[in-house]
Amino acid sequence: MVPISPVYANISSFVTKYNWKPQQNALKPKEIDFQKDLPWVRDNVLTTALSEINELTFAPEDIKYMESIGIKLPFKSGRECVDFIEKENIRLHFAKPYEKGVHAQYSFDRNAIMINKKYQNTKDFAVMLAIGEAILHEAGHAKDKDGQSSVQEELNFLGMNAVAHRAFIKKYGKVFSNSTAPIVADGVSIYEKLFFDPDPDKKRLIARMKEKYGDLPSGDRLHPPGKIARAVLQ
Ligand SMILES: [Zn+2]
Q: CA-to-CA distance for 182 and 130, rounded, in angstroms?
A: 10
State the residue range of the domain holding 62. 34-147+157-197
pLDDT of residue 171: 96
Cβ-based burial of 97 (10 A; exposed 0-12, middle 13-18, buried ≥19) = middle
- Burial group, residue 80, by CB count within 10 angstroms (0-12, 13-18, 19+): middle
The verdict on residue 230 lying in a domain is no
Ligand 1 centre and the CA of 137: distance in Å? 6
Give the tens place of pLDDT for each residue, 61-96: 999 999 999 999 999 999 999 999 999 999 999 999
Strand duo 91-95 + 104-107: pairing: unpaired
CA of 183 to the centre of ligand 1 (A): 14
The answer to whether residue 190 is domain-embedded is yes
Distance 36 CA to ligand 1 centre (A): 29
Name the pTM for this structure. 0.86
Q: Which residues of the chain have pLDDT under 50?
A: 1-25
Please name every residue paired with 113 in a beta bridge, in sequence order, or none if there are none: 92, 106
Give the Å distance between the CA of 130 and the centre of ligand 1. 14
Q: Indicate whether 84 belongs to any domain.
A: yes
Asked whether 153 and 223 are in contact (CB, 8 A), the reply is yes
Q: Is residue 6 part of a domain?
A: no
207 burial level (CB within 10 Å; 0-12, 13-18, 19+): middle
Phi and psi (nearest 5°) for 96? Answer: -75, 130
Measured distance CA(135)–CA(73) in Å, rounded: 14
Q: From ligand 1's centre to the CA of 5, what distance in Å? A: 58
207 within some domain:
no
- Residue 55 belongs to a domain with what CATH number? 3.40.390
Q: What's the gap in Å between 67 CA and the centre of ligand 1? A: 19
Distance (Å) of CA 226 to CA 74, 77, 136: 16, 23, 22
Tell me, yes or no, whether 187 lies in a domain: yes
Does 80 reside within a domain?
yes
How many other CB atoms are there within 10 angstroms of residue 121's CB atom? 10
How far is it, in rounded angstroms, from Cα 89 to Cα 38?
Answer: 8
Distance CA 155, CA 151 (A): 6
Q: Output the CA 198–ligand 1 centroid distance in Å.
A: 24
Residue 57 lies in a domain: yes
E strand segments, the chain: 91-95, 104-107, 112-116
In total, how many domains does the chain have? 1
Identify the pLDDT of residue 183.
Answer: 93
Q: If we measure between CA atoms, which residue out of 171, 110, 168 comes closest to residue 134?
A: 168
Q: What is the pLDDT of residue 2?
A: 41
